[in-house]
Structure formats: C-alpha cells, structure tokens
Amino acid sequence: MVVLAVSCTTEKEADNPNINHRTVNLEMKVSSYNAESEMSIDINDDGMLDFEIELDLYKDDEDDFDYELWLDYEEFGNEFLTQEINSEEYIKSLNKNDLISGGSSIWYRYCNFFEIEKTPSNPEEKYGFAGKGDILVGVRFLIGTQLHYGWMKINAAADYKSIVVKEVAYEIRPNVEVKAGEK
C-alpha cells in the first residue's frame, strides 16, 4: 500500500516595505435624524489631522431628507481621487492594484462618498457607495512639505447611518505612486 501525501500552500503576496499600512476600524454612527457626526483621520499616525469625514442625516416634518457622507480637509495638498456624478464630486471607487499617482484622474479637497435626497415634489435620488461593501479610496496628502500617495478602505452601511474606515496606508517615500490595497 502506497500513501501519497500532498500539501498545497498558497503563496501570500509579500508586503511592500515602503508602504505604511494600519488596520484602524474607526466607526462613526448617526442614530437619529437631524444629527451629524465627524471623524478625523490621521493616516501617518503623527498626531496631525490629514482628513475629516462628516456624516449628516437630516429629515424634516414634510418628509424632505438628505443623507450625506462628506470626505474633506481644507489643507492644501490633502486630496481625494474623485469622479463627477450628477455634476458633483464623488470618490472614485478603486479596484485592488489600481495605480494611485499624480497622473490619476481628478484630485479634489472634498467630495461625497454617498448622498440620498428626497422631497415630496421630487423622487428619491441616490448616488454613491452606501451599501456597496468595502470601497478603496485614493488619497494624497502632505507630510511636512512632501506629497505622499495612499489609500483608505471605507465601508458605508446601506441604511446610510454608519461607516467604518477599516484600513489606511501610504507610500513612505514622497511623490511615489502606490497601488490601491497595497500593503
């Protein structure tokens, strides 16, 4: 009798030593109408604010409502990779390994992640990435006077009331491109 044992191993993609990656699991919730919540993101963990995220949930007595998730920061050089949807700036959802660099599409200081609005005279309009699972977002920001590229992994609930920033990462060398999801 011959017994043959076979072992299959899956090769793990090696981490890039030039990528600073952190699992952060920062959660933000809004539990009632006419509320807002803000979160600060410090991508490089240096104690300085790099980006802000604001979740707004408004509804009035006439059933008008507007739910919105804004990503922003007024600091020059700290920007998101964006696309235009319905004449407004929204994050550009990236696939794993999409290149994030100076030549990538449109960079903007603030943008929407999602928006849903409705008034009694207009039908409900939904845009963006709520309920779409984990979304990779391209970012660039300044460390001192040098520009760095990176990404965030964000998940917004389908009910528009909560988000989780799961991971953040950036290329430690200035002005060097990074791939979305690269660790």
112-156 per-position pLDDT tens digit: 999 988 877 777 788 999 999 999 999 999 999 999 999 999 999
Element housing 21 (H / E): strand 19-29
Element housing 140 (H / E): strand 134-143
**Structure confidence at residue 74 (pLDDT):** 67
**Structure confidence at residue 12 (pLDDT):** 58
8 A C-beta contact, residue 21 and residue 156: no
Residue of 59 and 81 predicted with greater confidence: 81
**Structure confidence at residue 181 (pLDDT):** 97
67 CB burial (10 A radius; 0-12, 13-18, 19+): buried
d(CA 180, CA 26): 19
Q: Which amino acid is at 141?
A: F
Residue spans per domain, the chain: 19-179
Q: How does DSSP assign 97-136, residue by residue?
A: T-EESTTSSEEESEEEEEEEEEETTEEEEEEE-TTS-EEE
